[in-house]
Every structure is written in structure tokens, then in C-alpha cells.
Amino acid sequence: MQQFTTDQKVCQVGGVKFGGQPGQYPTVVVPSIFQKGDKVFEGAKRKDGFNQDRARQLLSEAEKISQETGVPVMADIVANTGKEFETFIDFVADNSSMPFCIDAWVMKPKLEGAAYCAQKGLLDRMFYNSLTVWEQDLATEIKEIADIGVKHVLLVAFDQENQMPSGRISGTQLLLDAIEAAGAEFESVFVDTSVMNGPATAFCSEANRLIKEKWGFPTASAPSNGSYMWKAAREKWGFKGWAAADAALESLSAYAYHDMIFSGPMAGSARIIPAVAMADAFLATMVFGQTKQLPVDENHPLYKLFPEFVEQLKTM
């Protein structure tokens, strides 16, 4: 596992640290809530509200497994309008301690969600998801979030014309150039390298390696996009077979140059977080075998789940 000569940045959102050299910090899992089809809506239209008990249970279960494993969680709050963001942000902030991001397809609701977080004093706990290469008015978006006071920003780097890992490098450079041209500065910048499908998530891992090597940014992708696209797996093997493939893809990503993964619906936390915990322990042990260095984070899954083995490692 490559250790980088480039200085590796460590970001901190709402008390959660991520980034650095591989194996130093656990992978942050970011499951979504209030996304299209989320069972909190119980088949009703979004405008009719949501099942608060169900949503509260999802948040509680994710935090519980996070505490048990040492894998940090953040909530990916998905909304279509600024008003939805206000409702959902209030609910997550009031019913959990986890950091969160605001996630929408278009600029207007994202800006409204960011402004609401500023109004509520939540900017330390929120990251902006996201600045993208396909936004037609990127300069305006960057200026607006800078004026709002957004501190933590995710860049989504993808080049439709070059879908190889190198395209994610050029996409990252485009976004960095746009931030510089706008005269904006952010406390934290990290990069999502855009999943195409399950196996192509390997391109994200390679792009993430290149990004960490070139800039030292923490890196991410959404392996769940690849899993949930693979409908044939459910048809062939049912939910259990598909779920095994999903957990495998998430854990492979956690092992290979992902400081953060967007893991899909929060209902899958009991499946995904333990898989990522094992991947993190595996990675940390791989790094120890190469460097004799143990994780920096004292809450790392290697310490949390395998303390007796850690004591053995210390004698080697």
C-alpha cells in the first residue's frame, strides 16, 4: 500500500477527521437519508412528510454501529428544495450528533441549504455536496458558497470525454482553477472521483491514488452507485447475494485509497459499516507490515475490534 511523499491533508468536519496517509484514519461512511424511494416516506409523496420514528431509528442505528466499530458516519441529506433542506437538516441536527452534507442535483436548493446551515450555526458540522465539473454556472456557485461562509467542500471530478483515471485529474484541476479564479478559500477540500459501475470503481481508487499523490487531498467516491445499478445481481441471487456484492465493493473501496465512501441508503448501515471496519483493520495491518506504524486515530477499528492483536503487533 503506497505511502505518499506528498504532504497529506487531514480534514475535520464536525469533529470527524479523515485523510492523511493510508491506514492512519478510518474510512468515513456517508449513508443517505431522505433520498428518492427512502422508506421513511412510506410510499407517500415527499410533500406529505416522513415517518419520524423510522428516520430517528435509522440515525440511531447508524450511530450505534459507528460507535461499536470505530468507523465514523456522516449523513448524506438529500433534498429537492430549500424548504425540504430546512426540515431535514433540523431533524438530523436535533436527532443525532453526526456531521452531514447537503446533497441536491441542482444549485438553487444546495445554496439555500447551505445558507440555512449558516443561519443555524451548523457550518462546522456540514460539508457542501458538491461542486461539479458539469455545473454551467460554476463561478456563481463558488462565489455564493464562499459568501455564505461554507467551510468544507466536496469536489466531484469527472470528465465524460476521458473516463480513465486521468480524466478525474483534469476534472479536479478544472475545479481548483475555478475556485482560484473566484478568489475563494475553504477550510477543507476533498475530492469524489465519480463511480460509473461496480468494477469501474477501480478507476476511482486509481484516480484517488493519483490525487493524493499530486495534491494530498482526502478522496472519496460512491461505490453504492455501482452496486445499486447492478439490478441483475438481485435477479440472479436475491437480496442476500446482491448485498454480499455490495458490501464487498464498499470494503474494497475503503481499502484502496478512499478516505470517504458514499454508501447508499442508511438502511444498509448494519451491512456496510462492519464490512468497512474489517477493510480498515486489514489496511492498517497491511501498512503496519510495511512501515511498523499503527493508526493515528485511537478509535480506529483495528484498536476497537482487535485489541489483543494490536498488543501482539506492538511486540513485533
What integer pLDDT is reported at residue 162 of this predicted model? 82
Residue 62 and residue 73 in contact, taking contact as beta carbons nearer than 8 Å: yes
CA–CA distance, 66 with 28 (Å, rounded to integer): 10
What integer pLDDT is reported at residue 179 of this predicted model? 97
Tens-of-pLDDT digits for all 316 residues of the chain?
A: 899 999 999 999 999 999 999 999 999 999 999 998 898 998 667 778 899 999 999 999 999 999 999 999 999 999 999 999 999 999 999 999 999 999 999 999 999 999 999 999 999 999 999 999 999 899 999 999 999 999 999 999 987 788 899 989 999 999 999 999 999 999 999 999 988 899 999 999 999 999 999 999 999 999 999 999 999 999 999 999 999 999 999 999 999 999 999 999 999 999 999 999 999 999 999 999 999 999 999 999 999 999 999 999 999 9
Residue 9 lies in a domain: no
Question: Residue 192: CB partners within 8 Å, gap ≥ 6?
Answer: 130, 154, 155, 156, 157, 219, 220, 221, 222, 260, 262
Residue 7 lies in a domain: no
What integer pLDDT is reported at residue 299 of this predicted model? 96
pTM to 2 decimal places: 0.96
Residue 274 lies in a domain: yes
Residue 1 lies in a domain: no
What integer pLDDT is reported at residue 44 of this predicted model? 64
Q: Determine the 3-state secondary structure of 77 from DSSP.
A: strand
- Range of the structural domain that residue 123 is part of: 18-314
Counting the structural domains of the chain, the total is 1
Residue 5 lies in a domain: no
What are 292-302's pLDDT values in tens digits? 999 999 999 99
Residue 131 lies in a domain: yes
CATH of the domain at 288: 3.20.20.20
Residue 11 lies in a domain: no
Residue 167 lies in a domain: yes
